[in-house]
Structure formats: C-alpha cells, structure tokens
A = this chain, B = another copy of it.
Amino acid sequence: MNRVYNFSAGPSCLPLEALEKAQKELISYGSSGMSVMEMSHRSSDFQNIIDNCEALLRKLLNIGDNYKVLFLQGGASTQFAMVPLNLYKNKKTDYVLTGVWSKKAAKEAGRYGDVNVVASSEDKTFSYIPELSADMFSKDADYVHITHNNTIYGTRYTTLPDVGNVPLVADMSSSILSQEIDVNKFGIIYAGAQKNMAPAGLTVAIVREDLIGNALDITPTMLNYQTHADNGSMFNTPPTFAIYMCSLVCEWLDKLGGIKEIQKVNEYKAGLLYDFLDSSSMFKGTVEKKDRSLMNVPFVTDSDELNAKFIKEAKENGLVNLKGHRSVGGMRASIYNAMPVDGVKKLVEFMKKFETENK
C-alpha cells in the first residue's frame, strides 16, 4: 500500500486513522456481526452512530440548542434550492458573488424570487472578497447568502459581513471544521461533506430552528428542512455509511484537540505554502493576500508549459491532483484538515527543487 498525498479539491483526502478504523470494522462492526453498510437505519447500533456524530459536531462547532443539525443528501447543490424554498417570505434576498458556486446558488434562488447581487468579485476572476458594509444589504431581504470559502478561487471571508437582523446563510462546503466560527452569527450553515467531513453523499445543514417550518407550498417534501428536523434526519433512509465516516472523522478531530487545534495546524500548513509562494520567483499565488483561503491554494507560474510539467512531475513524486480548476488554470493545492503537515512540506520541497531545476 503506497499512499499518495492527494491535493484534490473534493472528494478529498480523509484521515488515515479514520480509514483504517473503517477498514478494520468493514465486515463486522463491533459485536453486530454486520457491516455498517448493512445496518438498518432503525437499529440501535446505527442510532448510536448518528447520535454520536451529531454530538461530536455540536461539541466541535459549539452549536447551540436552538440549531438543528441535519444529515441530508443531494450535495451543496441541492441546498442552493432548499435555502430559498425554505426561507422565502418576501421572496427577496441578497447574494454576494465570490465564485462559480455563489453564482450557481444565486441563479437557483433567482428561479423562485428576486435576487439582489450585493457585490461581486467577478471583475477580477473572483480573486478577492468584496468589501461589504452594513448599508449594502437590504433590510427586507429574507436572507443574505455568502460562500464562506471559495474552493475554486482560493479565497475566504476573514470577517463576516454585518447583515443586521437578516439571517446569514453560508455555504461552508470547503471550510467547515477548518477554523473556529461563531455559529450564532448564522441562520443556516450548509456543507457538502466530501471535503472536510466525510466521503461524498452526505450534506450537513445546521439550521436555526425559527427558520424551519415556513417552506413555500411548492417545496418537495424531501427538500423541506422540517421533514428532516421533525424526524431526526430519518424521515427516510439517510446515507448511513457516510454518516458513520463523518463520525470517525469527527472523533479524529476531537482527539486532536478540536477546531482550535486544527485551525493552528491549518494556519501553519497554509503559511508554509504561502510563504514559499511569496518568496518564489517562479510560482505565485493568484488571490489577494488578505483574502487567502486556508484550504485551497491556487498558484501559477507564468507559463502553461511549465505548469503542465510541474503537475506531471509532482504526480510522479506522489503529489497528486494539483491541477488547477479550468477557470483559474495553473495549479491548486487543497490542503484540508486531513492533509498531513508532511504533505505540505513535501510539496514545498518539491516546488523548490522544481524551481531550481527549471529556471
């Protein structure tokens, strides 16, 4: 078994410890005599797994009792519809556009009501987070939507906008569990789990209770938060194995010291890479320094040929999935929680060597 360092933007690397535990109990979990994949979701063994997963998420993120933690399917893309379908009253909402994902989210909301684009950084290929002041937001918006971390472009909000009493909804697909956040600042946080939590097929939504129960009439039952909130995420069969994997990832994080500690590690890892980018004359980061993501680090050389050569040789050295998204080009290193410090060190070493050999 020859593990590589996997810099994929998602689905992405998982903690080896979690994978090893899953492997060990894959055929028979505890004394159950069956795989978690084979367990009835109504069994006490699975109830313990999902309860444990929720309890760990609540502990790690310090989630208050006035929030529901929902285990859903359909990816973050389904949330793009669920949010407006559940939150629209005036059918007016504010979106900040910081990348392809916020644009898609806004487009879907626009199919059901009026979307006001508060600000956009599309003018510079989404390489920064726009300045946002309280007066830019509509007082009568049903909610304000932001993409907390922009997976493709490598930016993140380092401060949250002041939206007054309007619920703030955040797509945290690529930043959840990576840094401390104050959940109380949000009406809804949602995340496709396949970056920092679990394998693909699980979507986690953290929803303030007062926002549940007023979905539009046209909302499909399965897209109504209330359906899942009223049934402990078991109105129908949930993605049981992905929830189990999420619990293993949360256990790993908890043992490590929780979000406070992983944030330090993440800042250290990102620092290694950004410091090198800033010192290098061959490689450079593509986003404004103040808005740099801790999770996704896009960078380029000034030649497409050199980029391609770099990606190819990195792969030969066990550093894989470094190709940037087509809308940015160049390279992107996604360094989620599960990417070991050693992986980033190896990447920086390799970049140094490559620079020496190719200048």
Contact = CB atoms under 8 A, between A and B. Distances in A.
Interface of A: 1-4, 6, 8-14, 16, 19-20, 22-23, 26-28, 31-35, 37-41, 43, 73-78, 80-82, 85, 108, 111-112, 192, 194, 199-202, 217-218, 220-223, 235-242, 245, 318, 320-321
Contact of A200 (B26, B77, B78, B240): B240
A38 B8 contact: yes
Nearest to A201: B239
A262 B82 CA distance: 40
A19 to B, nearest CB: 5
Given A22-B26, A38-B199, A85-B220, 20 more contacts: A1-B27, A8-B38, A10-B40, A13-B38, A14-B35, A14-B37, A16-B27, A20-B27, A33-B318, A74-B222, A75-B236, A80-B221, A82-B220, A112-B218, A194-B237, A199-B239, A200-B237, A201-B240, A201-B241, A241-B242
Given A10-B237, A35-B19, A221 B40 contact: no
Assembly stoichiometry (copies): 2
A22 B236 CA distance: 26
Contacts of A37: 11, 14, 19, 199-200, 245
A193 B28 CA distance: 21
With a 10 A CB-CB cut-off, give which of A12, A33, A85, A238 has the most chain B CB atoms.
Answer: A33
Contacts of A320: 33-34
Contacts of A32: 4
Contacts of A220: 78, 81-82, 85, 108, 220, 223
Contact of A11 (B19, B76, B82, B237): B237
Nearest to A1: B28
A3 B28 contact: yes
Given A26-B22, A34-B13, A40 B4 contact: no
A295 B8 CA distance: 41
